[in-house]
Structure 1
Amino acid sequence: MADTIKVDIWSDIACPWCYIGKRRFEEALDAFASSEHSKPVEIEYHSFELAPDTPTDFAGTEIDFLAKHKGMPVEQVEQMLGHVTGIASSVGLNYDFDALQHTKTLKAHELLHFAKSKGLQREMKERLLKAYFEEGTHVGRIDELVTLASEVGLDQDEVRSALTGDAFARDVQADIDQARAYGINGVPFFVFEGAYGVSGAQEPAAFQSVLEQIASGSIGEASDA
């Protein structure tokens, strides 16, 4: 039995449920850390673009994007965003959809791969999600991404060079291809030990259950993975 549990997480920066799922998974990790079968958990984030056709500089609000580009009635969009804002608040997140700047997330994903190469992927992931959903930061432009990267300890010149030269574009595409191979159509999606998948921003207890069963060797009995 392995000394660590590997969890691969496919998500998008522009996915409100991905940030909620991140918080719920982190709560599960805290509980698992104090459990009988506790062991280290290795986490790696992978790229997934929910709306790859989105322009970098989208002219409009989040409501405009969902209503006009996804064919949803404005009233339905407003109700949906209000619902997800409430759920986000329940896990300590303060979503601000009025300030949010909808954009293509490809460069942000490239930055995550650069950060991974420097051992700072998890810190970069958290900073990008907070910037996008809580602070109204434009995460599609290189200048803003360089600033955010510097805040987690990455070298600004190295980041700018990597993002300008598309050095990590192939890594992003490899993640997307792997998601397709797994049959992943939506995010967040959690893959435990390369074999057991959990879809969506599940409650912490669901994530903890999978971790416990893997750690105890009883995963074959699990029904939610």
Structure 2
Amino acid sequence: MSALRIDVWSDVVCPWCYIGKRRLEAALDRFEHTGEVEVHWHSFQLDPSHPKGERRPVFETLEQKTGAPPDQVRAMTRQVTELAAAEGLSYDLERAVSVNTIDAHRLSHLAAAHGLGDQMHERLLRAHLCEGETVDDPDTLVRLGTEIGVPEDEIVRTLNSDAYADAVRADFDEARRYGATGVPFFVLNRTYGLSGAQPAETFLSALRTAYADGGAAVRPPATLPSTFRR
């Protein structure tokens, strides 16, 4: 039996993505064959049109994007903050800063080349959602990357070039081929697709099904029922 492959498309500023990551991890903790699982993280941008270099508070961005009044936006963010807390995550969206995430994704690809893809994605999610870090700032990205073991000189070279830009765009293209319009988006063994921050029980059921069907022919992912959909 070959390893069970999980491909995950996610954005480092996506509150639902961090919740989905924790729920997947909870399912993997209960999965009978966790040692045979490989998780691969892929880039996705919730707002690719966000001007590079422009930074503004998340609440302001949400008000502009949704057209909702400030009190409604705060009620929405309180709800997602409470859901995150149930997964052990301490969101501080009052401090979160909306940015273009392309450089953060390029850093993630560099980290993946060093076998640190999961650690880098985790660190960037926590930085943005819990710590109020500005995740398009070069100095911040260098600090976050070196914290998890990515060589500083390679981070600087990457950020001062267009390294991994093609890999990031390839991730976007692959997500579109699967029909993903939002994140988090999960594909198991390139066969079974799940959209949204699914409950851990749903992930566990999908893991068991994908593992049992390990030799099945690749086909477009069948999206399972979604409780939380982005």
Does the alignment reach a TM-score above 0.5?
A: yes
- After superposition, the C-alpha distances for 1:126-159 in whole angstroms (9 at most, x for unaligned) are 1101111111111012111011000001111111
CA contact (8 A) 1:56 1:141 kept: no
CA contact (8 A) 1:11 1:45 kept: yes
AA in 2 matched with 1:45 = W
- The match for 2:98 is 102
Q: 1:71: how far off?
A: 2.1
- The match for 1:140 is 136
AA in 1 matched with 2:13 = A
Q: 1:59: how far off?
A: 4.7
Structure 1 residues 56 and 70, CA, compared in 2 at 3 Å: closer, same or farther? farther
Q: 1:79: how far off?
A: 0.8
1:80 to 76, 79, 83: 76
Unaligned runs of 5+ in 1: none
- The match for 2:176 is 180
- The match for 2:12 is 13
Q: Which moved more, 1:210-219 or 1:130-139?
A: 210-219
AA in 2 matched with 1:65 = T
What secondary structure is seen at the aligned counterpart in 2 of 1:72?
coil
Cα distance in 1 for partners of 2:30, 2:142 equals: 35
CA contact (8 A) 2:109 2:164 kept: yes
Unaligned runs of 5+ in 2: 217-221, 226-230
Return the TM-score normalized by structure 1: 0.92
AA in 2 matched with 1:75 = D
- The match for 2:228 is none
- The match for 2:219 is none
Aligned residue pairs total 220
Q: 1:214: how far off?
A: 2.0
AA in 2 matched with 1:55 = P
Q: How does 1:6-155 map to 2 (within 5 A)?
A: 6-32=5-31, 35=32, 39-155=35-151
Identity %: 43
Q: Root-mean-square deviation (CA), in Å?
A: 1.9
Cα distance in 1 for partners of 2:59, 2:193 equals: 31
Q: 1:56: how far off?
A: 4.0
Structure 1 residues 54 and 223, CA, compared in 2 at 3 Å: closer, same or farther? closer
